[in-house]
Structure 1
Amino acid sequence: MAVRERSSIHGADTQFLDPSVLSRIGNLELLARTVVDGFLQGIHRSPHLGMSLDFAEHREYMRGDDIRRIDWRLFARTDRFYVKLFEAETAADFMVALDISKSMSFGTHSVTKLDYARYLAAALSFFSQRQRDRVGLATFDHEIVDYIPPSTRHLQRVLHTLVNAEPGRPGVLRDPLMSLGDNLHHRGITLIISDFYEEPEQAVDAIRHLRARGHDVIVFHVLDPAELEFPFETAASFRDMESAEMIPIVPDKLVAEYRARISEHTEELEQLFTGSRIDYTVVDTSKPLDYALFQYLTSREKMARVR
């Protein structure tokens, strides 16, 4: 199964990465700043990651790195080799594609899937702005709802749109993501956040279009813990979030089959995305945000080394 148990990054102040705490912060820009600062503080303290105190710009040199990326001034101060992680002259277009279809309104704890996705999108947009990337946003259901092209001046528009994003209609991936690919005229990084209630092959086909046009693509598959574990015990009627159809369920007769199917679904998505050189991560909305943020940075670093 694509979901794996893991601990938070050593040293991170997970209080300020916990979605239940973040849900009480009314200002999305303050939330994004809090998440990024708390995460980077944890990275700085980690004995395992080999990052300097200027983590957002450097990491320790590793065999195989391009020696042209070594920061010789930092070497003079520390007597250790560091390479620039993201260089200003190679600032990227960073585009968030956020699913706001009806199913994203589901949640069994302090936040819905859309809330959690909103926090991730805001934090990574804020971080990317710090990296001097050009930040943009597209929200979508069965079509693009809001579109903000990547720019160094669009962070406030992005945050405002995230605050006001509301799930309302059923969604599909193909049409809006095909349209997004046609609208992005410069190669860059596209982060797709969705609950992927779609057949895996159809979902991946929609995203391959972006990859084929030269974009680096990172996928976060956000799921509520109840969708991962199906903890329900008593018979009840469940509402399909997309179609509103009511379905009677006897949970104890279905729990094993459900868990097997959600595992198959995420594993098939992971296999298909990996085969298309697209980074894919399942994110549990009850967990602190540090795991998703670290996965994003790992993907960015890998992309920088491939180029």
Structure 2
Amino acid sequence: MAIKDLSLSAKMTIDGFMNGINKSTVKGPGLEFSQYRSYQPGDDLRSLDWKMFARSDRYYIRESEVETNIAVRILIDSSASMNHSDGDFTKIDYARYLGASLAYLANLQGDAIGLYVLKNSGIFSMVAKQDYQHLARLFYQLEQINPEGKFTKPIHYKELFTGTQKRELLIFVTDLYQSDDDIINLLDTLNTLRHEIVVFHVLSRNEIDLDFKGYSTFEDLETGETIQIDQEKARVNYKTKLAVYLEETRVKMLDRRIFYRTICTDEPLDQALRDFLKQRSKLRI
């Protein structure tokens, strides 16, 4: 049932997204405008550009080039901080739905789909393949994620070098909770492999607004340390520091040529899906 639910959720999300998206921005399976050329006898009349005919009174064929299908790898942070909740909904819940929807959309586009789950004990890896059974297995692995411990240590990064040597589009879903720049070090490692990288920084509304409905004691999910906070007194200073942190993070990503977007767990997935299509169009293999 878990697999079926996640699969159904992804399908419903993508179907709704594709129905609502501007048809002119999605040409189908990888078609991108290349150039015009004069009509020649025998050309398919469906390729005639009637707007060009209206302007020039001459027949032109609109030629397109086909994108090569790419390999897309979903990376999920499964450290304990991803268990942070806002109500009954956790960051890892959001990461699952986002990862499943991106995988479903990529499969729909004809791309090979793979998975990395970044665990305290190492990295779980699924090779990138393009078939529905593989997609079903990916959904299953997303359902099995149980966040615990701290972020994956560099000693485990060797797993990243054992796969295909082709350039991939890596979609990293994380809350960027780290010590000693562990996640930045990972991104630097991935950059050495010349992959295209997209980072979705997942935040919950209660941590953005520092609104935890009267709680005064807070626990670090990865270290177990606790701290007492008066939310009302701390809120203004907290929001200022959070804004500085997010801007510094944005600059770090920009310096590494990584596409970066913050995304809140109460936001719909549409913008993340648009960002995926935008970055996908930049990658050629």
TM-score bucket (shorter structure): 0.7 to 0.9
Q: What TM-score do the two structures reach when normalised by structure 1?
A: 0.77
Paired with 2:145 and 2:214, the residues of 1 have a C-alpha distance of 34
1:268 aligns with 2:248: yes
Report how far residue 267 of structure 1 moved.
1.2
What's the offset of the Cα at 1:184? 2.9
Letter of the 1:183 counterpart: T
**1:218 alignment partner AA:** V
1:170 correspondence with 2:115: no
Aligned to 1:76: 47
The correspondence of residues 88-167 of structure 1 with structure 2, limited to 5 A, is 90-153=68-131, 154-167=134-147
Residue-by-residue CA offset, 1:82-136 (whole Å, 9 max, x unaligned): 856x62xx21111111011111011113421001110010011111112221111
Larger strand proportion of the pair? 2
Identity of aligned residues (%): 26
Amino acid at match of 2:35: I
**Per the alignment, in what secondary structure is the counterpart of residue 185 of structure 2?**
helix
Tell me, yes or no, if the aligned pair for 1:120 and 1:289 is still in contact at 8 Å: yes
Alpha-carbon distance in structure 1 between the residues aligned to 2:69 and 2:136: 19
Per the TM alignment, residue 181 of structure 1 is displaced from its structure 2 partner at its CA by 2.7
**1:51 matched to 2:30:** no
Do the aligned partners of 1:172 and 1:198 also contact (CA within 8 Å) in 2? no
Q: Which residue of 1 aligns with 2:164?
A: 185
SS at match of 2:236: helix
SS in 1 for 2:274: helix
**Residue 39 (structure 2) aligns with:** none
Matched, 1:299 2:270: no
The verdict on how the C-alpha distance between 1:101 and 1:91 changes in structure 2, with shifts beyond 3 A counting, is same
Gaps of 5+ in 1: 1-23
Q: Which moved more, 1:220-229 or 1:196-205?
A: 196-205
Contact 1:44–1:55 (8 Å) recurs in 2: no
Q: Which consecutive unaligned segments of at least 5 residues does structure 2 have? A: 37-42, 52-61
What's the TM-score, normalizing by structure 2? 0.82
The question of whether the paired residues in 2 share the 8 Å contact of 1:204 and 1:269 is answered with: no
Q: Write the mapping of 1:7-26 to structure 2, written as runs, cut at 5 A.
A: none
User: Structure 1 residue 246 and structure 2 residue 247: aligned?
Assistant: no
Q: Does structure 1 conserve the Cα–Cα contact (< 8 Å) formed by 2:70 and 2:283?
A: no
Residue 243 of structure 2 aligns to a residue whose secondary structure is helix
Q: Does the 8 Å CA contact 1:138/1:144 hold for their aligned counterparts?
A: no
Q: Secondary structure at the match of 1:241?
A: coil
Distance 1:199 1:240, change over 3 A: closer
Preserved CA contact (<8 Å) 1:122 1:159: yes
Moved more, 181-190 or 211-220: 181-190
Distance 1:280 1:294, change over 3 A: same
Q: Is it true that 1:67 corresponds to 2:32 in the alignment?
A: no
